[in-house]
Structure 1
Amino acid sequence: MKRRDFLKQSAILSSLTLLPSASWASIKSTRLRIACIGVGGRGKEVLAAIASHPRAELTALCDVDSRRLIAAAKLHPHAKSFVDYRRMMEELGPAIDAVVVVTPDHTHAPASLMAMEMGKAIYCEKPLTHHVSEARAMRQLAEDKGLVTQMGIQCHSFKEYRSAAQLIKSGIIGKVNTVRAWSNKDWGYDGPIPTGSDPVPEYLNWPLWLGTSKERPYKDRIYHPGYWRKLLDYGCGTLGDMGVHIFDTPYTALELDVPSTIRTSCRKPNGFSHPEKNTVRYEFKGTPYTTDTLKWVWYDGKSAPEDHPDLNMPNGDALPEQGAMFIGEKGRLLLPHYTWAKLIVDGKYEKIDFPELEAANHYHQFVDACLDRDKTSAP
């Protein structure tokens, strides 16, 4: 299938919004009928987590990689398999209540928007979209249709992250003046731009993988699987991949709005890939939990956090490979990625009395919200 044919079919299938469908308003079943687009890698994990809900019923599987699709079908034999999500929605639309999207970033919005136009609830993996305009379009459509949505940012539901947000709001370190956040993930590429082409593997539908992005020849170990995160046309780099998680708690705790200024330091743009080293400096207007101006510094990839007193650790301990440090008037709070916060006052660790919180399952919350007309925590 050529790209122009893909785009033509997409235009034709957009008329599906005129067909009868199992819209959000009509979900009356005691079980949520779910279709999953992207069932390998991270998709396999998300699929298993959502399908583990006792009221979830997996209806369809879709993936452009036949190896992954076959493997998923063996685990979920009652679900129907598809290579093209448009065909899946055309054929099974009325039998689908919700769609889970776990594909490369550039295909999040096209797949999600099509399903949302048909009235389906959406669970979309982070980062929500490839472009800001797409995220705005999804938000507006969800509001217009009254759809349940959940972004796949599971850390938002973790006790570790929720407790850190509560501690900051409680004033444990006073008003926060600076946040320093980092990730050692290396989703950048500074090498030569590839030329030529390689044979497309038999298991991969390359035109469908490209989707609505510009046509280009396949190159082995450049795009699929996973390498796309490094590339401008398909992924969002380390900032988009891990920053979504690590920024979440500071944003939640400090109730921040959009930044006032942004300055980045990296190699010259090459029009092809994200940089291997990236440092971004933000300034935000103050909130009740910050000083008048909040400074925020992000480091990623091979750009290790600078040698700064804000990041000095007690006892000569090393910084975690990923995390955030809140610097406040009365001390610092370190939140390593995926674990509990540590309080640092006058260069020493201090005991924290963590708030008691109920457990929350980010994936099951989506199913419950769809069936019980409830809200999700990360819409």
Structure 2
Amino acid sequence: MKTQQLSRRIFLQRTAVATAALGFPFVSARNVLGANERLNIACIGAGGKGEVDVAGCDGENIFALCDVDERNAAKTFQKYSSAKRYKDFRVMLDKEKSIDAVTISTPDHMHFPAAMWSMRLKKHVYCQKPLTHTVEEARLLTEAARKYKVATQMGNQGHSDRWLRRNVELVQAGVIGQVRAAHCWTDRPIWPQGVDRPTETPPVPDTLDWDAWLGVAPKRPYSPAYVPFKWRGFWDFGTGALGDMGCHVYDMPFWALNLGAPTSVTAEQEGMTKESPPKSSIITYEFPQRGKLVPAKFVWYDGGKKPSADLVKGKKLPTNGVILVGDKDTLYVPSYWGKGEFLSGAKYEDFSSVAETLPKKDNFDRCHYEEWIAACKGGPKAYSNFDNSGPLTEMVLLGNVAMLAGRRIEWNAKKLKVTNDKGANRFLKKEYRKGWGV
């Protein structure tokens, strides 16, 4: 099937040309709502994680639900029975002019088209992690959010955790000194990876619109190996363990250390196939001097790989965690986020003189939605807005680029280009199935 490739040039052309050439109208958002007015929210993806995202916004008006899988979304459809239903988000956005904001809880490969389509129509966007399927898409969404001046938030809810934010404040205040190394790990994948394309291709269930589920991805037969959850282990749809968890586990060090873009990325992996991310990987990022912050090495582990327990004085490492090695102390967080411990024996109370500059609430899951909703109504920007989560996603997904390239890559973030391997640049972007261009 013919494809059309999204490029930076095409994006800039399309956002500059007349509205009619895009096939749908640009519309102005409703006037800024007051804090006590309710948003009309449309939810693209209503089953699985989508069910959680809908519930996170249910203090607003759940106006419309869009899902290609009626069985997976049945519980949400039933709970919000008065909401309008759609299978194609393009049809929904074209028809329902009073939508103010959307949540996007689709497989990774459909995040960008749903988000870009929505932002061009001046809809505020809450999008699940990773923000996009490719590095180039992350850059384009970051730029588009600025262009269309909409409120955005990525669904890495730990970003709103009070302890993650306190760790950011303390690290930035220098309590552990200069950090030259960071280590993050996860127990993912908890789905098959390092697999070949499934040969089992039964009939498509009556409750699933398979063509719409594929969306921008190349045409292939339906298989239960993909839907509703295991798509994460296939390159055409997901981003593997790294993409699934990186935007959670990288988040605190990325923020605290003001990492920005790496200069190089090296990947070791086991079991990767043409169709599927590896069974395990270790990814090493090198970051340059950042103002007064020294160069730093950042290492990611998944699939059962972990850093040395010597980094935490021989403690047994849990399934997920973060270690920041400073020249004064080491901060060890035994989870994706949350309260950590200082290997020197210092306690959080010892740093009460360090100002608390970031807002904090106990119910961070709910708070993450509330920050975005407040931003939609004219309040402060949500903290994981696309200016922050876009570059975070770029960093995460560069690990996949290095795996696919099969070698150390040198990165020029300004030019969005791998500089030492021209062929690796093809992994920064992808081709879209005909009829699904954005």
- After superposition, residues 15-164 of structure 1 pair within 5 angstroms as 15-18=23-26, 21=27, 23-24=28-29, 26-28=31-33, 30-51=37-58, 53=59, 56-92=60-96, 94-164=97-167
Q: Deviations over 1:214-264 (max 9, x none)?
A: 0001122x2111101111111111111111111111011111121111110
For 1:261, the equivalent position in structure 2 comes to 264
Other structure's SS at 1:123 match: strand
| Cα shift at 1:185 | 1.1
CA distance, structure 2, for counterparts of residue 174 and residue 182 of structure 1: 22
CA distance, structure 2, for counterparts of residue 3 and residue 50 of structure 1: 39
Q: 2:46·2:66 contact (CA, 8 Å) conserved in 1?
A: yes
Q: 2:124·2:150 contact (CA, 8 Å) conserved in 1?
A: yes
CA distance, structure 1, for counterparts of residue 47 and residue 90 of structure 2: 19
The one-letter code sitting in structure 2 at the alignment partner of 1:235 is G
327, 330, 338: which one aligns with 1:329: 327
| Cα shift at 1:46 | 1.2
- After superposition, residues 311-322 of structure 1 pair within 5 angstroms as 311-313=312-314, 317-322=315-320
CA distance, structure 2, for counterparts of residue 321 and residue 252 of structure 1: 22
CA distance, structure 1, for counterparts of residue 212 and residue 122 of structure 2: 23
| Cα shift at 1:308 | 5.2
Other structure's SS at 1:16 match: coil
Q: 1:79 to 1:286 in 2, by over 3 A?
A: same
For 1:7, the equivalent position in structure 2 comes to none
370, 373, 397: which one aligns with 1:364: 370
361, 375, 379: which one aligns with 2:381: 375
Q: 1:375 to 1:130 in 2, by over 3 A?
A: same
Q: 2:44·2:102 contact (CA, 8 Å) conserved in 1?
A: yes
Other structure's SS at 1:24 match: coil
Q: 1:310 to 1:286 in 2, by over 3 A?
A: farther
Other structure's SS at 2:73 match: helix
TM-score, normalization: structure 2? 0.76
For 2:306, the equivalent position in structure 1 comes to 305
CA distance, structure 2, for counterparts of residue 202 and residue 31 of structure 1: 35
What residue ranges of structure 2 are gaps of 5+ in the alignment?
A: 4-19, 386-438
Q: 1:13·1:90 contact (CA, 8 Å) conserved in 2?
A: no
Q: 2:287·2:296 contact (CA, 8 Å) conserved in 1?
A: yes
Other structure's SS at 1:295 match: strand
CA distance, structure 2, for counterparts of residue 137 and residue 256 of structure 1: 20
Question: Could you say what the CA RMSD is over the residues aligned between the two structures, in angstroms?
Answer: 2.3
Q: Deviations over 1:299-351 (max 9, x none)?
A: 0113x2143522434xxx42121111000112210122242111102xxx432
For 2:16, the equivalent position in structure 1 comes to none
For 2:219, the equivalent position in structure 1 comes to 215
**Which deviates more from structure 2 when the two are superposed, residues 181-190 or residues 328-337?**
181-190
Q: 1:24·1:147 contact (CA, 8 Å) conserved in 2?
A: no
Q: 1:271 to 1:191 in 2, by over 3 A?
A: closer
Q: Deviations over 1:2-35 (max 9, x none)?
A: 999xxxxxxx9952225xx4x3363446221100
For 2:201, the equivalent position in structure 1 comes to 197
The one-letter code sitting in structure 2 at the alignment partner of 1:17 is P
Other structure's SS at 1:279 match: strand
| Cα shift at 1:81 | 1.2
- After superposition, residues 277-292 of structure 1 pair within 5 angstroms as 277-287=280-290, 290=293, 292=294
For 1:296, the equivalent position in structure 2 comes to 298
Q: 2:183·2:323 contact (CA, 8 Å) conserved in 1?
A: yes
For 1:8, the equivalent position in structure 2 comes to none
Other structure's SS at 1:372 match: coil
Q: 1:191 to 1:235 in 2, by over 3 A?
A: closer
Q: 1:104 to 1:13 in 2, by over 3 A?
A: farther
Q: 1:192 to 1:364 in 2, by over 3 A?
A: same
| Cα shift at 1:362 | 0.9
CA distance, structure 1, for counterparts of residue 291 and residue 327 of structure 2: 14
| Cα shift at 1:135 | 1.6
- Name the % identity: 34
CA distance, structure 2, for counterparts of residue 368 and residue 58 of structure 1: 16
**Which deviates more from structure 2 when the two are superposed, residues 256-265 or residues 179-188?**
179-188
CA distance, structure 1, for counterparts of residue 292 and residue 230 of structure 2: 39
TM-score, normalization: structure 1? 0.88
Asked if 1:351 corresponds to 2:347, the answer is yes
The one-letter code sitting in structure 2 at the alignment partner of 1:238 is A
The one-letter code sitting in structure 2 at the alignment partner of 1:15 is G
| Cα shift at 1:195 | 2.6
Q: Deviations over 1:92-126 (max 9, x none)?
A: 1x110101101000000111111111111111111
Asked if 1:231 corresponds to 2:239, the answer is no
Q: 1:159 to 1:252 in 2, by over 3 A?
A: same
| Cα shift at 1:69 | 3.2
What residue ranges of structure 1 are gaps of 5+ in the alignment?
A: 5-11
Q: 1:254·1:289 contact (CA, 8 Å) conserved in 2?
A: no
Q: 1:39·1:61 contact (CA, 8 Å) conserved in 2?
A: yes
| Cα shift at 1:60 | 0.1
Which structure's residues are more often strand, by fraction? 1
Q: 1:192 to 1:363 in 2, by over 3 A?
A: same
CA distance, structure 1, for counterparts of residue 129 and residue 21 of structure 2: 26
The one-letter code sitting in structure 1 at the alignment partner of 2:85 is S
Q: What is the number of residues matched between the two proteins? A: 356
For 1:180, the equivalent position in structure 2 comes to 183
Other structure's SS at 1:298 match: strand
Q: 2:180·2:295 contact (CA, 8 Å) conserved in 1?
A: yes
